Amino acid sequence: MKEEKYFAHQTAIIDQGCQIGEGTKIWHFSHIMKDCLIGEKCNIGQNVVISPKVELGKNVKIQNNVSIYTGVICEDDVFLGPSMVFTNITNPRSAVIRRGSYETTRVKRGASIGANATIVCGHDIGEFAFIGAGAVVTKHVKAYALVVGNPAKQIGWMSEFGHRLNFDVQGFAICPESKEKYQLSNEIVKKL
């Protein structure tokens, strides 16, 4: 019998055809459905459902009670907070089968999504964006953007270390923890 290079709690269910990276941990009562691609060193919390063909990069952290539906792609270093959820059909109806109509949602590298947030399908979350707890995302989110509320609105910018950036009149800000410098120009943030 082949020895797996990842950990799965005995109550976890992993369907056939999944690729799971080395060092990944899958906790209690989670279900990884067929044909998922999960990178190295991910941490999948308790009672998580990952639907068929979902893709997770390296070091993705998924907290308890999260549902990730077909069509979702999470790049490296994404954080998904407790009980947040993705959708994959814009106009679901119980009596109408739309399995071939799943929309793609891409969560780009380093983004964080807070507890109980909802990401409506077809909207990308930019690199290092920060989605506040309970937010309902109904449009694309820019890289480094801080968005909150229902519907989610941008209220600022965040550093790669998760600190709010305060830009000076020349459009520069420094992360208080990493001391990395950022520039805001034409509503686009770049790390220098």
pLDDT tens per residue, range 110-147: 999 999 999 999 999 999 999 999 999 999 999 999 99
Closest by CA position to 47, among listed 58, 63, 34, 33: 63
Q: Is residue 95 part of a domain?
A: no
- Global pTM reads 0.94
CATH assignment at residue 134: 2.160.10.10
Is residue 59 within 8 Å of 42, Cβ to Cβ? yes
Domain range enclosing 186: 165-192
Residue 74 lies in a domain: yes
133 and 49 in a common domain: yes
Overall number of domains in the chain: 2
Q: Is residue 172 part of a domain?
A: yes
Kindly indicate the confidence band of residue 29, based on its pLDDT and cuts at 50, 70 and 90: very high
Q: Which two tokens stand for residue 178?
A: 């990493």
Which amino acid would we find at residue 190? K
Residues 117 and 178 in one domain: no
